[in-house]
Amino acid sequence: MSALPLKGLIVLEFSQYLSGPSAGLRLADLGARVIKIERPGTGEAGRKLSIKNLWAADGSSLLFHTINRNKESFAADLKNADDLEKVKQLIAQADVITHNFRPGVMEKAGLSFAEVQAINPRVIYAEISGYGKRGPWKNRPGQDLLLQSMSGLTYTTGDAVNGPVPFGLSIGDTLCGAQLVQGILAALIRRSKTGQGAFVEISLLESLLDFQFELLTTYYASGKQPQRSNINNGHPLLSAPYGIYATDAGYIAIAMNDLQQVAKAVQCNDLLQYGPQDAFSKRDEIKECIAKHLLTNTASYWQQQLHAAGLWAMEVLNWQQLSQQDGYRRLQMEQALRMKDGTQVITTRCPIRINGQKLYSTTPGPVVGEHNKQITREFLTTTTA
């Protein structure tokens, strides 16, 4: 696509692991030129963050390449005066700077917002922290599982009879990166009108609290902790039949539906005794009734019956089953990264479409310092290479 909306925008990414790089990934997908500022030799810490020991030929994890595709790498030691001067020259020409270091790291390097703004008043300075830069938690480790646990999120998944259950992915990192992009784009729009730069701040904790706004609003109003159902929990605030149920073959998810309509659709006479007034007060009792009945046939059969009645239900699919569905194939969500050793890595594409066009990128993450010479020629012509 020749006219991506962020083409011409220069982003310097002082970020590692997932949250900051995921923001850079989306900006790069939308056309920005994202340059990772990495320590010489080892690069950013996320290069060694492996999942199931899957590594690329350059020694970086496949996860690193999927979240840093289509970026460039400029190796610089921020403790070295000459390297720091080069980085400051890049800052003078950048539009956006992102980082997710611990509080005080960028300040110690002489790259606080105030210092960067003195170099480039129009720059958008965007940072992610774990818990904010102030307060008693500011130096706690900003790791996703830890944030999920202390934010209350682990009490939204699983049944009430279970202990706390985390999401099976780094939901805090992903949400925080996406919200940082929202803040950056808003600041860029304002800059186009006023010429002013901006300081965009977000924390993993704030992202996960915002994610739970339904539950927290209910808690603020009542002072009571939302309760998961004891069986087939799908959402602490929603009544029966909402949840996932085992069947004779496979599982089925049933969303918000009228109990009488569900009873008729699945031919469950025992369910007919319950009305709308019972849907929450007798939630576990109703779900137990549904669960027992659905074991008498397959998920495919029950989906057909519920869909025929116009009710909301879907079979539960794993990734292998999903990949075989025509609805998935039509989305064309897969793309191949062309690795430097000639192999390919299949990953997902950017989910955004611009004027009907899907956004693909075949370029993997960069080697540490891969673009030093090129970036020096373009931006640092007054310095010695």
pLDDT exceeds cutoff 50 at 30: yes
**pLDDT band for position 205 (50/70/90)?**
very high
| Lowest model confidence (mean pLDDT) among 6-20, 37-51, 193-207, 362-376 | 37-51
- Mean pLDDT value of segment 90-112: 96
pLDDT exceeds cutoff 60 at 111: yes
pLDDT, residue 162, reads: 92
Among residues 66, 72, 26, 76, the alpha carbon closest in space to that of 46 is found at: 66
> Starting at the edge strand that comes first in sequence, how are the strands of the sheet with 96-99 ordered?
72-75, 33-38, 10-14, 96-99, 124-129, 198-203
pLDDT exceeds cutoff 80 at 121: yes
d(CA 10, CA 27): 10
pLDDT, residue 53, reads: 66
**pLDDT band for position 382 (50/70/90)?**
low
Domain locations in the chain as residue ranges: 10-211+348-379
Report whether 334 contacts 346 (CB < 8 A). Answer: yes
Tokens of 116: 């960067």
- Mean pLDDT value of segment 359-366: 93
Q: What is the 3-state secondary structure (H, E, C) of 229-243?
A: CCCCCCCCCCCCCCE
- Sequence-distant (6+) residues with CB within 8 A of 16 are 44, 45, 46, 100, 101
Instruction: Please indicate whether residue 173 is annotated as part of the active site.
Output: yes
- Mean pLDDT value of segment 284-289: 97
pLDDT, residue 38, reads: 97
| Lowest model confidence (mean pLDDT) among 49-63, 117-131, 151-165, 171-185 | 49-63
pLDDT, residue 93, reads: 97
pLDDT exceeds cutoff 50 at 385: no
Report whether 313 contacts 303 (CB < 8 A). Answer: yes
Tokens of 182: 């929202």
pLDDT per residue over 294-339, tens digit each?
Answer: 999 999 999 999 999 999 999 999 999 999 999 999 999 999 999 9
Q: Is pLDDT larger for residue 342 or for residue 86?
A: 86
Mean pLDDT of all residues in the chain?
94
pLDDT, residue 160, reads: 94
pLDDT per residue over 40-73, tens digit each?
Answer: 999 999 998 766 667 777 778 888 999 999 999 9
* Amino acid at site 69: R
**Could you tell me where the DSSP H helices lie in the chain?**
19-29, 62-67, 81-92, 105-108, 113-119, 144-150, 171-194, 204-211, 213-222, 259-265, 283-294, 299-308, 319-323, 326-331, 372-379
pLDDT, residue 56, reads: 75
pLDDT exceeds cutoff 90 at 154: yes
Please state which CATH number belongs to domain 10-211+348-379.
3.40.50.10540
Tokens of 248: 């004779």
- Mean pLDDT value of segment 354-359: 92
- Mean pLDDT value of segment 190-215: 97
Please report, rounded to a whole number, the percentage of residues in the chain having pLDDT higher than 70: 97
- Mean pLDDT value of segment 278-292: 96
Rounded to the nearest angstrom, the gap between the alpha carbon of residue 112 and the centroid of all alpha carbons in its chain is 26
Q: Which of 29, 95, 144, 173 is catalytic?
A: 173
pLDDT exceeds cutoff 90 at 180: yes
pLDDT, residue 62, reads: 87
202 DSSP β-pair partners? 128
346 DSSP β-pair partners? 336
pLDDT, residue 384, reads: 45
pLDDT exceeds cutoff 60 at 157: yes
